[in-house]
Amino acid sequence: MLTIVSDMLLTDSFLIKGNIENKYTRLSQVLDETRRYFLKVRDATLIDLNSCERIQTPLLHVNVDEILLAHEFLDSGGDPGQRDLAKNQSLHRVRVFYTGSLNVELGGEVRPGSYEAEDRTARRFFIMRNPVVRGFQDKGDEDLKLLTKLPYAILNKLRLSYVYDFN
């Protein structure tokens, strides 16, 4: 049976694909506005980042604080954050680093200051356009390769270790 998934989450241990339950708007907004500790993911597939082993479950609760990055497999033109980025707005080239059990680096374009704590428009998460992932091994796994082909990523600023802003 083929299950269509709309959402992808990356944690230190797993790439998670599934459908966020009770999603009332785009994923970027849901992540910023949720006041719960856990998101419910329906029809979830967890791919272990080390072994590529897969675990499938009808319902998974994911701690929002564990999310490094997220992506929604829908047309990005309907995403308010993406629309804001597309407006004649200057973008800053940055490299961001997550350090810990998964050392990964992403380079791309962001709205100026979007990673700052006082940024009220992006809150806990912000959007990076055209992310280039470094330091991540896909091990030939088709699902893990998705991380290297994303048109945008929703990043958890609370999990960032370092930001190198080229501007």
Q: Across residues 151-165, what is the average pLDDT?
A: 93
Residue of higher predicted confidence among 35 and 54: 54
Which strands form 162-165's sheet, in the order they lie side by side?
Answer: 54-63, 38-48, 14-20, 7-10, 69-72, 152-156, 125-134, 104-110, 92-98, 162-165
The fold of 76-165 is SH3 type barrels. (2.30.30)
Q: Where are the domains of the chain?
A: 7-72, 76-165
Both tokens of 160, joined, read: 């960032």
Q: Is the pLDDT of residue 17 over 50?
A: yes
Query: Looking at per-residue confidence, does 118 or 85 come out higher?
Result: 118
Could you report the per-residue pLDDT of 58-109, keeping only the tens digit for each? 999 999 999 999 999 875 555 555 555 455 678 999 999 998 888 899 999 9
pLDDT reported for residue 95: 96
Q: List the one residue out of 42, 89, 54, 67 whose CA is nearest residue 153.
A: 67
Q: What CATH fold (topology level) applies to the domain 7-72?
A: SH3 type barrels. (2.30.30)
Token pair 């896909």 is found at: 138
User: What percent of the residues of the chain are helix, what percent strand, and what percent coil, each to the nearest 5?
Assistant: 20, 40, 40
**Do the first three CATH levels of 7-72 and 76-165 match, i.e. the same topology?**
yes
What pLDDT does 102 receive? 86
3-state secondary structure of 36: coil
